[in-house]
Structure 1
Amino acid sequence: MRAIDLNCDLGESFGRYTMGLDDQVIPLVSSVNVACGMHAGDPMVMRRTVRMATQAGVAIGAHPGYPDLQGFGRRDMNLSPDEAYSFVLYQIGALAGFCAAEGARLHHVKPHGQLYNRAAADRALADAIAAAVRDFDPQLVLVGLAGGQLVEAGESLGLRCASEFFADRNYTDEGVLAPRSMPNATLTDEAFAVKRAVRAVREGTIESITGKTIRVSADTICTHGDNVRALEFVRELRCALEEANVEIKPV
């Protein structure tokens, strides 16, 4: 039986502002990526999200991003490698503290937004992020875009790495995520997105944004908790994977 991790970016509420249906989505996935207070989230949200994930028995990951609350971490901040190392290490440590308080263990690290995208192409930034993960805990799994520099950087430091596929995002002919500045960067046809994700897992190929068949590697599939129909999409995706005889479990 083929196995795949189904992850979701969560814990993105802040103060009085609520984003997503985290309590309902968490039981449907096998791992969660929790915002660490820089691009979204706050200490109360982090603690609550870790507690829900622990109770549901899913793997918990840190989701460090640029210090950019207003831009939701999706704007490039051009941090130096030394700055990136420090910001990532700081955020991992913060979430690990909440995990320890709940009797859980931090399982993985997945950068967020533009930090993630840039690390897929910028080796110096990728090296800095991978070093922060290794220096905090070399047993952590580092999650990055399939075929990107972050996975290569992590593997070069001896980290366990997971290649990620995005269920709700379009890909270019080169196999990278279509920029969010493009009007069709995010898939809106849920039936097509679900079918494409199953194909990615079983065949290792998908259609690019132009319709070209491209190769993809997937150890984990990402969904986004801030989508309007996040709950319905995750439920449909999980059902389709199970019907395709794919086991859903953490990396």
Structure 2
Amino acid sequence: MNKQYVDLNSDMGEGFGPWHIGDGVDEQIMPLISSANIATGFHAGDPNIMARTVQLARESGVGIGAHPGFRDLVGFGRRHIAETPQALVNDLLYQVGALREFARLHGVRLQHVKPHGALYMHAARDETFSRLLVETLQQVDPNLLLFCMESSATWRVAQEIGQPAIREFYADRDYDRNGSIVFIRRIGPLDPEQVAEKVLRACVDGKVRTVDGDDIDIDFDSVCIHSDTPGALQLVRGTREALVREGIRITGPLATAASL
């Protein structure tokens, strides 16, 4: 595989009022990444945090993405909520619109949408919801990038309909044999060197080790490291440095990446 460039993304603005999730290092992480997934109020984030995070991303030259989740502040969007596909798409569109206005206020465009947590995994499994989501994005902005896993219904539907999609590789999550991440509610500290080696192997060899100890093929356009993972700043810094040493350029996702 031996990628020449890759996007590096992280979830940003995941606080609420005076509280924050994780180590509270958004300002340090932002200059190290190329795409920011900004919480839009339902699982975390509020208008003030959204405005500050958009401004921070603009100052760092980082692509801005909406990170909408289930209406679940108490559970940080990691609990599944049973709702109709239309109601979920309406909730998602409401959140995207809020962040789009803050982006417009600061003179930047909304680059992408990446569902959060349990909503991301729901979309990966539920083709009906993914189809309605992609069809809605086609009407709103056919150039808006949609972040998803390659082994997901979201990716398949986006490919079918023609919505540009960006496949993610999760540096700080484990994989199963089907190429899907293993969804967990809490994660402990990780070794920055091991995480960087995992990302480099995926970029150079196109392989990742599963929780069962098997190697599977993996392809992707963007690497995600969650800002709420303990020690996230060290993980992002170590991964970025390893990629640069390998000659892999960190750049924003391309609308044509899904067709490469």
* TM-score after normalising by structure 1: 0.95
Q: 2:120 aligns with which of 113, 116, 122?
A: 116
Measured after TM superposition, the shift of residue 16 of structure 1 is: 1.2
Distance in 1 (alpha carbons) for counterparts of 2:189 and 2:200: 15
Give 1:233's aligned residue.
235
Structure 1 gaps, min length 5:
none
Please say if 1:153 is aligned against 2:154: no
Give 2:256's aligned residue.
none
Give 1:23's aligned residue.
27
Please say if 1:58 is aligned against 2:45: no
SS in 1 for 2:20: coil
Instruction: Provide Cα deviations, 1:22-75, integer angstroms capped at 9, x if missing partner.
Output: 111000000100000001000000000000000110100000110100000000
Q: Which moved more, 1:213-222 or 1:185-194?
A: 185-194
Q: Is the 8 A contact 1:180 1:186 kept in 2?
A: no
* Identity value in percent: 38
Q: 1:249 aligns with which of 229, 248, 251?
A: 251
Give 1:196's aligned residue.
198
Runs of 4+ in structure 1 displaced over 4 angstroms? none
Distance in 2 (alpha carbons) for counterparts of 1:129 and 1:21: 31
**Partner amino acid, structure 2, of 1:249:** T
Give 1:41's aligned residue.
45
Structure 2 gaps, min length 5:
254-260
SS in 2 for 1:60: strand
Give 1:134's aligned residue.
138
Measured after TM superposition, the shift of residue 131 of structure 1 is: 2.4
SS in 2 for 1:224: coil
SS in 2 for 1:226: coil
RMSD across aligned C-alpha pairs, in angstroms? 1.5
Residues 186 and 145 of structure 1: is their aligned pair in 2 closer, same or farther, counting only changes over 3 Å?
Answer: farther
Q: 1:90 aligns with which of 94, 112, 125?
A: 94
Q: Which moved more, 1:119-128 or 1:33-42?
A: 119-128
Q: Is the 8 A contact 1:85 1:131 kept in 2?
A: no
Measured after TM superposition, the shift of residue 10 of structure 1 is: 0.7
Distance in 1 (alpha carbons) for counterparts of 2:36 and 2:62: 7
Distance in 2 (alpha carbons) for counterparts of 1:186 and 1:16: 24
Distance in 1 (alpha carbons) for counterparts of 2:83 and 2:169: 25
Please say if 1:224 is aligned against 2:226: yes
Give 2:215's aligned residue.
213
Residues 179 and 228 of structure 1: is their aligned pair in 2 closer, same or farther, counting only changes over 3 Å?
Answer: closer
SS in 2 for 1:154: helix
Measured after TM superposition, the shift of residue 155 of structure 1 is: 2.1
Q: Is the 8 A contact 1:39 1:73 kept in 2?
A: yes
Measured after TM superposition, the shift of residue 186 of structure 1 is: 6.5
